[in-house]
Amino acid sequence: MYVWLLAWRYLRTRYIALASIISVTLGVATLVIVNSVMSGFSHEMQKRLNGILSDIVVEGPDLISGFPDAERYMEEIRRIVGPELQGMTAVVHVPAMLTFDVQGQYFTRQVNLIGIDEQTYASVSDFSQYLLHPENRRRVSFQLRPDGYAPDRPGFPLSGWKYRSMRAALEKMRSRSEPPPEGPSLDVPRDPTARYYGASQQQFDPAREQHTGLVLGIAIASRRVRNSDGTVVDHFFVRPGDDVQITLPTAGNPPKAETASFTVVDFYESKMSEYDYSFAFVPLRALQDLRGMVDPQSGRRFVTAIQLKLRPGADLDHVRDKLRSRFPPNEYPYFHVATWRDLQGPLLAAVHMETTILNILLFLIIAVAGFGILAVFFMIVVEKTRDIGILKALGAPRRGVATIFVGYGLALGCVGAGVGVVLGLEFVWHINQIADWMEWLTGREVFDPTVYYFQEIPVIVEPLTVLAVAVCAVGIAVLASILPALRAARLHPVEALRYE
């Protein structure tokens, strides 16, 4: 009983130990905050990557010409995977150049053109969730919508058939040298009964116009900038309803350049800049016809990859290994089966390494606190030498004397770790409010909206990680108290009582 009474007395009266408690508290709180934020970023990134890439990708031997008989391979894959398969689709990936006109000046962008089947592609990815038009989110379509593309996005320009009709009427009036009608510009909707609309609808019937739709990554067609008053706005070079030119290689050998006109029908916004700056989607059959990926004799169509979506909880690696055993390299040369984690291995490994290094560096804070506890305890042993001699003269065993200091270290660790966990969790739960307060205090934005797509800091608290941090902090405090405790236990009562 005396052991814990003395440990509690030292904890209440030795204020120098407060410095050690603060060190442990700050170290634990920092580790909780960093791990929660990094877990949030990692989860958000992996969620979007998985939603974009699907679960498993089976790439063909030729990424330019593709491979035929996709239906036969898909039927074989369906038989192998069995009930774990939730969705499957065939796609064509091809590099291309996008050219569009902005006020008489042509701009060119490199894009990754993807031919998709609008009936099945949404079943293997979150593609439809990243489209701007609400109707396209419910059912993917490459048809140009009348309007209503981004009702929740302020400043989004007038788009769709309404804008296209107005533009056609304006071009017709300009060709006749007629003055443009009075009223707002094309960026502002007008009353459809106005003369501007009447003239356009007579010459421009959406039901009769033939066009091939294109879904464009939003960052390709716009730039996010900050105005002089500090507001952040998106400036669009292209909008749904505009025509663009696509130049791409054909599937022949050697490939040749082919150029075709497409109409932008919607924007794709995954909030992953790498994809929003490069992805463009067109109908699968249209891309196959354009590139010559159709056998003129048999009519077989070629694709470059097959994408699979598995049911929640399925083992991706197990399914991948089964497909690899069915399509071995010696029988199917260059056939490549990979999960989305395999395809993004370097990026995921870099994030994991960064998290590990941060944990190691921040854990040194708790290690420094441990050395502080070690120094404080040695000082206490020297200061309390006579008291230790009295305890041993009264019959206190070595283990009892050592337990006093070990218990003191345990108490310091528990208090510091407990307060650190509470402080860290409070910071995590209010991190976005704290970020707003820091922006107000410093006058600088924590996350520049022209660079970062997300508006809030994502955080995920993992209980096991928090518990592991707290246990390690307590363990370091206990380990730091062992050497002083051994020194106190080895003191001879007579020599301790003679100590000056």
pLDDT of residue 451: 60
pLDDT of residue 42: 84
Residue 335 predicted with pLDDT over 80: no
Where residue 353 falls among pLDDT bands split at 50, 70, 90?
confident
Residue burial 33-70, b: 16+ Cβ < 10 Å; e: rest: bbbbbbbbbbebbbebbbbbbbbbbbbbeebbbbbbeb
Residue 245 predicted with pLDDT over 80: yes
Angle at 220 between CA 101 and CA 305, to 5 degrees: 115
Over pLDDT 70: what percentage of the chain? 78
Q: Residue 35 and residue 31: Cα distance in Å, rounded?
A: 6
Tally of CB atoms within 10 A around 108: 11
Is the separation of the CB atoms in 294 and 300 below 8 Å? yes
For the ranges 68-77, 178-187, 439-448, 482-491, the one whose mean pLDDT is highest: 68-77
Is the separation of the CB atoms in 127 and 116 below 8 Å? yes
Where residue 298 falls among pLDDT bands split at 50, 70, 90?
confident
Q: What is the mean pLDDT of residues 35-59?
A: 85
pLDDT of residue 450: 59
HEC assignment per residue over 8-71:
HHHHHHCCCHHHHHHHHHHHHHHHHHHHHHHHHHHHHHHHHHHHHHCCEEEECCCCCCCECCHH
Q: What is the mean pLDDT of residues 220-234?
A: 78
pLDDT of residue 189: 39
pLDDT digits (tens, 9 = 90+) for 431-471: 888 888 877 777 776 666 656 556 678 888 999 989 999 99
Residue 333 predicted with pLDDT over 90: no
pLDDT digits (tens, 9 = 90+) for 255-283: 888 899 999 999 998 888 788 888 999 99
Is the separation of the CB atoms in 385 and 491 below 8 Å? yes
Instruction: Tell me which of 76-85, 96-105, 129-138, 194-203 is least confident.
Output: 194-203
pLDDT of residue 187: 47
208 exposure class (CB count in 10 Å sphere: 0-12, 13-18, 19+): exposed
Tally of CB atoms within 10 A around 401: 23
Query: Average pLDDT of the chain?
Result: 79
SS3 (DSSP) at 364 = helix
pLDDT digits (tens, 9 = 90+) for 430-442: 888 888 887 777 7
Residue 423 predicted with pLDDT over 90: yes
Instruction: Tell me which of 102-116, 119-133, 362-376 is least confident.
Output: 362-376
- Interacting residues of 116 by C-beta distance below 8 A, sequence separation 6+: 89, 91, 127, 281, 282, 283, 284
pLDDT of residue 395: 62
| Domain locations along the chain | 2-46+347-497, 54-340
pLDDT of residue 173: 72
pLDDT of residue 381: 66
Is the separation of the CB atoms in 268 and 130 below 8 Å? yes
pLDDT of residue 407: 77
pLDDT of residue 10: 57
Where residue 192 falls among pLDDT bands split at 50, 70, 90?
very low
* Cα 382 from chain centroid (whole Å): 55
pLDDT digits (tens, 9 = 90+) for 91-114: 999 999 999 988 778 889 999 999
Q: What is the mean pLDDT of residues 393-420?
A: 76
Q: What is the mean pLDDT of residues 179-192?
A: 47
pLDDT of residue 216: 94
pLDDT of residue 442: 75
Where residue 178 falls among pLDDT bands split at 50, 70, 90?
low
Q: Residue 133 and residue 326: Cα distance in Å, rounded?
A: 41
